[in-house]
Copies of this chain bind each other. A is one copy, B any other.
Amino acid sequence: MQPITKTLITDDCSLNTGNFLKACRRQPTDVTPVWFMRQAGRYMAEYRAIREKYSLLEIVKQPELAAEVTLQPVRAFGVDAAILFADILLPLEPLGLDFEFARGEGPVIHNPIRALADVRALRPFHAEESLSHVMDAIKLLRGELKDTPLIGFSGAPFTVASYMIEGGASREYKTTKLMMYSTPEVWHALMEKLSDALADYLTAQIRAGAQAVQLFDSWVGALNPQDYAEFVLPYSQKVLKAAHETGVPVIHFGTGATTLLPLMKQAGGDVLGLDWRIPLDDGWKLIGHDRAVQGNLDPITLFAPLPELKKRIHDILRRAEGRPGHIFNVGHGILQHTPENHVRAAVDFVHEYHLNP
């Protein structure tokens, strides 16, 4: 194994200590906190250097490597929160699915879930044993991170189920939707088991030391509100409730989900994630100001010339003004090839906004 670079979180990075957790709780902050979904990853040269030697799953399964990669953007850009380097599909293998990241193809599940027998064949899942390496990475990170809070995460039941059913990524979610429409008993049996597993996974991360958690329902925007209410909401609610009861802030995120936002709020979350398709102020109003919001820069904006990037970041911050409870973020994960110096500039634009709004 590669020796881990000595991690040094400088004073500079912890200047805005506590702002992220305060904003989650809608408490006033001195500046708007900022972190980025997929802030660790291929766009960073430091990460690519590690990926030359290890596969994604090798990194995730070695707590020292996972911790190192998690720390890279914290050291490099001074973001206000770290998010554990992991993958929403990690629970699949312990659940008994034959899962791999195929070269250039993304995730492939060789034995997708199609029938009740497949659901019954899922193995018992105990996150603390099955994914002990994730918990170990969290414990390591809490020692390293000093004052920067650590976010744990999990995929939401719909999004994870869509991979288990389709056998990989999807564009139409045809097999997933048809399971709802044609064999709802199979769907509900799967979601029952899966939501138990994900609730266990998320709370295990909190017990290990995660100071906030995010539930990623990245693909839920493929559904209409009626289907969300019937087939998804109760299961997301179960996972979010389990996390909420631990007392740490819970972020609930989807993309393309404008028409689902009121139902997603009902499902739970102290913070609702917004993508760029809805102006931040409109989205916050739709959700209600009794929740915090996170978002909502189009990740492609991070490739734009810096004056344009600054203008667009300021626009979002302006729309959030007047009340506490905004965490700046992208509306979907940072893309490969994003210039690192633009990510650094974006953090500074957010932190320095109050000086010259």
Contacts and interface: CB of A to CB of B under 8 A. Distances in A.
B172 A279 contact: no
Interface in A199-232: 221, 223-226
Given A181-B303, A181-B305, A224-B279, 13 more contacts: A174-B300, A174-B335, A181-B301, A181-B304, A182-B304, A221-B256, A224-B276, A224-B277, A225-B279, A258-B259, A258-B277, A259-B278, A259-B279
Contacts of A178: 300, 303-304
Contacts of A305: 181-182
A308 interface: yes
A47 interface: no
A304 B276 CA distance: 33
Contacts of A87: none
Interface in A75-130: none
Q: How many copies does the complex hold?
A: 2
A30 interface: no
Interface in A165-179: 172-174, 177-178
Contacts of A303: 174, 178, 181-182
A277 B279 CA distance: 18
Contacts of A174: 300, 303, 335
27 contacts: A172-B300, A173-B300, A174-B300, A177-B298, A178-B303, A178-B304, A181-B300, A181-B301, A181-B303, A181-B304, A181-B308, A182-B303, A182-B304, A182-B305, A182-B308, A221-B277, A224-B277, A224-B278, A224-B279, A224-B298, A225-B278, A225-B279, A258-B258, A258-B277, A259-B277, A259-B278, A259-B279
Interface of A is mostly: helix
A258 B286 CA distance: 13
A290 interface: no
Interface string A176-188: 0110011000000
A277 B182 CA distance: 20
A220 B335 CA distance: 20
A115 to B, nearest CB: 16
A58 interface: no
A321 interface: no
Interface in A298-320: 298, 300-301, 303-305, 308, 315
A307 to B, nearest CB: 10
Contacts of A282: 259
A177 to B, nearest CB: 5
Contacts of A225: 277-279
A73 to B, nearest CB: 21
